[in-house]
Amino acid sequence: MDATDDTGHRSLVAGLGIAVARAAFAGSEPHISMAEISRRAGAGMSTFYRNFPSRQALLETLWTDENNAVCAAAETDAKPSQGATRRAAAPRKA
């Protein structure tokens, strides 16, 4: 496996790990082990721990991912439509 393949594999493992952790923490498994998350993600423990060296690192990554999604949604919702922009920029008649 060359470096490009390794990077892609690590990205895949990270994405799967986040998805498994999100589902477990949002459901009825807040105390799921790192080993079980790794198993469900289909990754070996070594590969999984290269992406998430600790439970805290996994939780921080999950929090950052969720926070970025909320911010992106807020930015999308906060942008005025073109019509609203034109109305705001148009001079008012006295």
Count how many domains the chain has. 1
CATH number at residue 25: 1.10.357.10
Any domain includes 75: yes
Any domain includes 21: yes
Q: How many angstroms separate the Cα of 72 from the Cα of each of 22, 31, 76, 82?
A: 18, 29, 6, 19
Any domain includes 32: yes
Per-residue pLDDT of 50-88, as tens digits, reads 889 999 999 999 999 989 989 988 888 766 555 544 445
Whole-number percent of the chain with pLDDT over 70: 72
Dihedral sign, Cα of residue 12, residue 13, residue 14, residue 15: positive
Q: Residue 42's domain spans which residues? A: 3-89
Any domain includes 94: no
Higher-confidence residue of 7 and 22: namely 22
Whole-number pLDDT of residue 14: 83
Whole-number pLDDT of residue 54: 94
pTM (predicted TM-score): 0.67
